[in-house]
Structure 1
């Protein structure tokens, strides 16, 4: 069954969820896992791609925007994550229809009130359907 983890940060502002996603993707990659980062739309995926190429200055996360790429981290959007089924990092406000295809789902929640509200709805969604859900407070 898919394991769901909510990563919570009290930090608010632009880039918090993006920084959390980079951190979790980097950790998963170091564990030998493949990662699909689900973005809101193509523009969001391209924005995240650009940010991942520029930050952090001390690390590199091999990634691509195209689902057909052999990169271990894929930035995508829409209703089909391709052949990915290992780790899903969700950066949207909805639970993707394909979430249960993955072994693990990571939900990024910043200190922004609207993100917290949307996160609570996703948390209830997973719990009501019997997914094992855990939370981690991050700095």
Structure 2
């Protein structure tokens, strides 16, 4: 089996405020994940967005619904939609359908990471989130993934 490629997007300009929303994820971080999911969907990729909890899954769901009609991304949460799932699935649980791309928004490397050929992850500017990203980076390397970084282009 081919080694999965992990790409960490380095975020600039992420808010350092300690309000409720930025404790888990920065808004830039989540918005960029949605932009990535939309881009991958347009490239006919099946995407799994993995988050830490149900609240985060609903937050991503809301962001994807907020895209304009021309940019609609078919997506679902666990238990919604077709049995085969939408092109983009959002969950805090392991995937139930075959997907090629994982967008990891959780604080850890998921146990099921080896199922994917491509993994997208993020390095926010907030110190605590940056530390978690460094641990994930090392975790992916220890699993034998090819890991690289790139500067994130900010969502418009």
Q: TM-score, normalised by structure 2?
A: 0.80
Choose 1 or 2 for highest CA Rg. Answer: 2
**Offset, 1:114:** 1.3
Aligned with residue 9 of structure 2, among 7, 19, 23: 7
Q: What is the CA–CA distance in structure 1 between the aligned matches of 2:115 and 2:4, rounded to whole Å?
A: 8
Q: In the alignment, does 2:78 pair up with 1:76?
A: no
Q: Tell me: CA distance 1:12–1:101, structure 2 relative to 1, closer, same or farther (3 Å).
A: same
Q: What is the CA–CA distance in structure 2 between the aligned matches of 1:109 and 1:58, rounded to whole Å?
A: 29
Aligned with residue 133 of structure 2, among 119, 122, 126: 119
Segments of 4+ moved more than 4 angstroms:
none
User: What residue in structure 1 maps to residue 35 of structure 2?
Assistant: 23
Which ranges in structure 1 are unaligned for 5 or more consecutive residues?
none
Between the two proteins, the alignment pairs up a number of residues equal to 138
CA displacement, residues 25-83 of structure 1 (integer Å, 9 cap, x when unaligned): 112112110000001111111121112212467622221112663310011112x2111
CA RMSD of aligned residues (A): 1.8
Q: In the alignment, does 2:121 pair up with 1:107?
A: yes
**Offset, 1:130:** 1.9
Q: Secondary structure at the match of 1:36?
A: strand
Q: TM-score, normalised by structure 1?
A: 0.89
Whether the aligned pair in 2 keeps the contact of 1:8 and 1:108 (CA below 8 Å) is yes
Whether the aligned pair in 2 keeps the contact of 1:67 and 1:76 (CA below 8 Å) is no
Q: What is the CA–CA distance in structure 2 between the aligned matches of 1:111 and 1:88, rounded to whole Å?
A: 22
